[in-house]
Structure 1
């Protein structure tokens, strides 16, 4: 009797494995080519509301390792309000730093979220903020800048610049070095990061030693970028509809769209900006404008490293705990900050776009295995949900 039960169990497992494999293959096939399994599984899960957007909550715990950092030393988290000599506005910020920090670099991090309420905040990006602090040893300061529709341009720019000035004036209180400040951000936050660098240059503000831009929006103009036309459906986590809504709410007047503090790609001069690391994603409507901005920085004599990650979508760095490419992008950031801090970057003779392909070798095996486990979780969840509805 037990042999019959064993055979049935094996048969069921084989059928389920085949169902999962066929599902992953189906999810991977798109009009834009075949996606890596991990990317396909995550996109399917989020776009079909099978897991919350905060996807690491729904994935088995062993697939979400804690970030590595300065072990044995306490990481301090502080939420507070700030005001600077440039602006008396009381602005909420979150600060991460190690308890034993001394003369550490300072990193201002500006979260993404389409400039609008309900799309992103310090909490939704806490994993990136915390991990950058852990891996770089920097004092990381992230402001809750004001959002549209209640606060239109230039409120977010002013808040970002206020944070920079405050950091310069107060960095030493947290073990930071005011002469070593860098700025970073993703998507809308990437826009604000490079805009803040522009504003600081124009107003003789604090000098920045680096800027890190994750898939930044660099123009509000209706520029016919191929990536905007190809990946604008929203399936890859950013849609044309959201981009248009962001423009209508954050920059309600057409005259704002060409301003260098909304569209740095349109700035007359990009001279004397800090060295830049720009990271883009293959399946992202903002890909082309981020890479073009890198080219324009190079033409202005700014040291720039532009890296496109293939096989991933907009926002992939937020999923670094379950996507190897996201983790690799964070490691690129750590390396770049160290190199720029010690003046080890320079202007290349020709502009170069580095393309990093989907993980290979053992990393690919691991990604495929994890994708299969996640897919089994999703297929099982869908199956039980269907049975429960019968």
Structure 2
């Protein structure tokens, strides 16, 4: 279907903005842009900042508690940003909506970023935070038996890596994984028509993806690691049920859909929720696009049902 009119206007506006001169300017710019975005009204009972153990030190985190009486399910969330940018601040609204919509405590974790901390630093931080959250769920007002991981884009990649490690390293047991437009095959761009169809003009570009990969993977051989490219290289059996959202106008569309198919073929329950008219990042723009809001509400409802 055609590009969502709200995103057409957004992209036209973005095309008039100067490109950041470097990584630090990019990081500052996304923080400012996120702060200026309109927000959907959403009610959560409490929000507090804390620190959780990472692989090599404490990590900033933010805990969201839904209205009602706990203990609640617990969802550990990892933000997107190409592994090089964004933070718990840029994804604050998304996590509020996730908390309220899924009726789950949400722990949003700010892992170390590349290039200062290339792979596997982010994966190791995500894993350490997940293990800590599972062990300390009662302190967070949550039930460790109803545990999920979620993430968007790069954060979805980290969530996938956590599901693989949880299976292979004896837990914690995960009930669900919510993956928003995940990158699942760093080395297979030529296999996916969406990389060519949507490689320019739709927010996430092929050039930017190449930059992110160069920053994240100090050793190019790491692109083949199952934690980086699970679609071609990981064993996908015995993983938690998954919901995978994709966007029609996203270079990552086809590998996200292919990952859902591969999970299903391996015996892991997986559902693919396509986003007609959407662009990469639509989960952060629910106040701009009613269609994006509808998709996210459907995703939150899925997670709520999976964590009953």
2:15 and 2:34 mapped to 1: Cα distance? Answer: 11
Per-residue deviation, 1:56: 8.0
- Secondary structure of 1:95's partner? strand
Residue number in structure 1 paired with 2:81? 113
TM-score with structure 1 length normalisation? 0.72
Map Cα deviations across residues 132-164 of structure 1 (whole Å, 9 max, x no partner).
112222110011100001101110001111111
Q: Does the 8 Å contact 1:56/1:322 carry over to 2?
A: no
Whose RCO is larger (CA < 8 A, sep 6+)?
A: 2
Give how far 1:46 is off: 2.2
Report matched runs for 1:91-130 at 5 Å.
Answer: 91-98=59-66, 101-116=69-84, 119-130=85-96
Aligned to 1:66: 41
1:255 correspondence with 2:221: yes
- Pair 1:41-2:15 in alignment: no
**Unpaired runs of 5+ in structure 2?**
19-28
The aligned counterpart of 1:82 is 52
What CA distance in whole angstroms lies between the structure 1 residues aligned with 2:189 and 2:5? 32
Provide the C-alpha distance between the structure 2 equivalents of 1:34 and 1:326, rounded to a whole number of angstroms: 14
Q: Is the 8 A contact 1:283 1:314 kept in 2?
A: yes
Q: Among 257, 267, 280, which residue is 1:314 paired with?
A: 280
| Superposition deviation, residue 99 in structure 1 | 6.7
Quick one: distance in 2 between partners of 1:304 and 1:35? 26
Cα distance between partner residues in 1 of 2:250 and 2:161: 21
> In the alignment, is the contact (CA less than 8 A) between 2:101 and 2:304 conserved in 1?
no
Deviation at 1:174, TM superposition (A): 2.1
Deviation of 1:254 after TM superposition, in Å, equals: 2.1
Find out whether 1:326 has 2:301 as its counterpart. no
Q: Residues 81 and 34 of structure 1: is their aligned pair in 2 closer, same or farther, counting only changes over 3 Å?
A: closer
Name 1:229's counterpart in structure 2: 196
Distance between the aligned counterparts of 1:199 and 1:337, measured in 2?
A: 21
SS at match of 1:208: coil
TM-score normalized by structure 2?
Answer: 0.90
Describe the shift of the 1:221–1:244 C-alpha distance in structure 2 as closer, same or farther (beyond 3 A).
same
Q: Is the 8 A contact 2:103 2:304 kept in 1?
A: no
Distance between the aligned counterparts of 1:305 and 1:166, measured in 2? 28
Gaps of 5+ in 1: 1-32, 343-390
> Which residue in the other structure is 2:154 paired with?
188
Are residues 177 and 228 of structure 1, via their aligned partners in 2, closer, same or farther at CA, if it must alter by over 3 Å? same
CA distance in 2, matches of 1:276, 1:328: 19
RMSD: 2.0
1:175 aligns with 2:141: yes
